[in-house]
Chain A
Amino acid sequence: DVKVTQSSRYLVKRTGEKVFLECVQDMDHENMFWYRQDPGLGLRLIYFSYDVKMKEKGDIPEGYSVSREKKERFSLILESASTNQTSMYLCASTTQGPPYEQYFGPGTRLTVT
């Protein structure tokens, strides 16, 4: 079974703090993704990566950066956390070929106060 793990289930940070969200997958997937989920807005893509050291902006990259130094690990960084970044953050991974299903981690509920 594919396993995608995220470093924290719940996180509370203060405005202005630098926040690191870590994601690790154990199935040698090339592609990894970061989403945020907010009520009424669905899943919005922040950044994705097709290979080590590669990154692509998604639909809402502002205020975020990412790092992929190893194939299995994809980190999301909030350079200076703000209250509007309070959200559920979801990491996902998939292969580049079939099957095309993305496998999601359990999510990190981040609250910025």
Chain B
Amino acid sequence: DQQVKQNSPSLSVQEGRISILNCDYTNSMFDYFLWYKKYPAEGPTFLISISSIKDKNEDGRFTVFLNKSAKHLSLHIVPSQPGDSAVYFCAASARGSGNTPLVFGKGTRLSVIA
């Protein structure tokens, strides 16, 4: 049973426009959420995170929004650049449950077209 779902396997966006990547989760114990970016033949790199006590976190062109009641989070990239083309993974953690591993979604492949 997938606890973290990324329902869009792929997304194409024009350069300069906004990219919105979505993630849903089912486990109400999750209290910390992260986004990772992965280029082919490389390991994932951490992008941005958000704690459940917040509903928004911003870092430069990247903003993550959390809607706890809907169990939904989204990553906004504005403006999108060709170098943003990668696979993006959403991950969640239940820190209050002790030392548990991150649970990852299946990823969304973003293509930014110049």
Q: Is the CB of A100 within 8 A of B49?
A: yes
Segment with Cβ contacts to B, from A14-22, A37-45, A67-75, A76-84: A37-45
Residue of A nearest to B44 (CB): A104
Q: Which of B59-67, B78-86, B95-103 contacts A (4 or more CB under 8 A)?
A: B95-103
Tell me which residues across on chain B come within 8 A of A96, comparing CB atoms: 99
Decide if A62 is an interface residue (CB 8 Å cutoff).
no
The 3 closest A-B pairs by CB, nearest first: A104-B43, A42-B106, A43-B104
Number of interface residues of A (CB under 8 A): 27
- Cα–Cα distance between A92 and B38 once the two chains are bound (Å): 14
Give the Cβ gap from B73 to chain A, nearest Cβ, in Å: 15
Question: Which chain A residues lie closer than 8 Å to B101 at the CB level?
Answer: 31, 33, 45, 48, 58
Cβ-defined partner of A105 (8 Å) among B43, B99, B104, B105: B43
Q: Write the A94-109 contact mask toward B (1 if CB under 8 angstroms, else 0).
A: 0010011111111101
